[in-house]
Structure 1
């Protein structure tokens, strides 16, 4: 049996200050709402992939603001075993918001007011993100 590795991906939590988090409605299976993101291309850094995927799926130019975490549950994506590096970002110009690439739609949602169904483990990622924001606000 040939040796197999998980596939590296990125997801981006894009905040639009005063409005919320950008989510895309997937055109392809699995259908539902997701964070912008996708596969890292050969020869591309995770950071480059995050900026590229954000632009392709949402029309937004983004500034990465941090590394949020790594999500690697083998069951996180029903298509194959992926490991996602999750970044946080802000939109450079929120007026550029427009669905593109494999996104059937794109919208901004108030924190905690996520649409359904959420795909992959993105509801968990967003819940973890909100918990982190709450912890930081307490300090």
Structure 2
């Protein structure tokens, strides 16, 4: 058996102290996550972040920096994920677009609203990325080498 980490991206979108989250239905439960997903073939990390955000929230965003790179092993299945978390600002909402099938809805929440119910986090990376973003520093997109 070959061990292989899964490369994922997440986008932390802020607008006036509120953050864009998705509510997903996973393992029989409604959970909150940043817009996030897997890197696809022939796609840059930035392209993946923009695509996933649009597909899951119907928001076009502009990437403004890198929050961090995270390594996470899911206790539920033992799969290891490498998450590259981007910061972004909202540009345009496209309500005519359909959201990905596993997304219940996109919603704007404050940090306090997210922290109010830890049982609804997709993983502990959700609040960790948010807190890392708020604590700073934000890293330059120039760190990426495609």
Normalised TM-score (structure 2): 0.78
Which portions of structure 1, spanning 4 or more consecutive aligned residues, are displaced by more than 4 angstroms? none
Residue 35 (structure 1) shift = 0.4
Q: CA RMSD in A?
A: 2.2
Measured in 1, the distance between the counterparts of 2:131 and 2:121 equals: 12
User: What SS does the corresponding residue of 1:5 show, helix, strand or coil?
Assistant: coil
Tell me which residue corresponds to 2:136. Answer: 132
Within the alignment, does 1:118 sit opposite 2:117 as a pair? no
Within the alignment, does 1:90 sit opposite 2:94 as a pair? no
Alignment of 1:47-86 (within 5 A): 47-75=46-74, 78-79=76-77, 80-86=79-85
Contact 2:70 2:84 in 1 (8 A): yes
Tell me which residue corresponds to 2:105. Answer: 105
Tell me which residue corresponds to 2:14. Answer: 15
Contact 1:112 1:130 in 2 (8 A): no
Contact 1:22 1:109 in 2 (8 A): yes
User: What SS does the corresponding residue of 1:92 show, helix, strand or coil?
Assistant: strand
User: What SS does the corresponding residue of 1:104 show, helix, strand or coil?
Assistant: strand
- Number of aligned pairs? 129
Residue 99 (structure 1) shift = 6.9
User: What SS does the corresponding residue of 2:99 show, helix, strand or coil?
Assistant: coil
Residue 4 (structure 1) shift = 2.2
Residue 96 (structure 1) shift = 3.4
- Per-residue CA deviations over 1:52-89 (Å, capped at 9, x if unaligned) read 000000000110000110010223x7342110000000
User: What SS does the corresponding residue of 1:100 show, helix, strand or coil?
Assistant: coil
User: What SS does the corresponding residue of 2:3 show, helix, strand or coil?
Assistant: coil
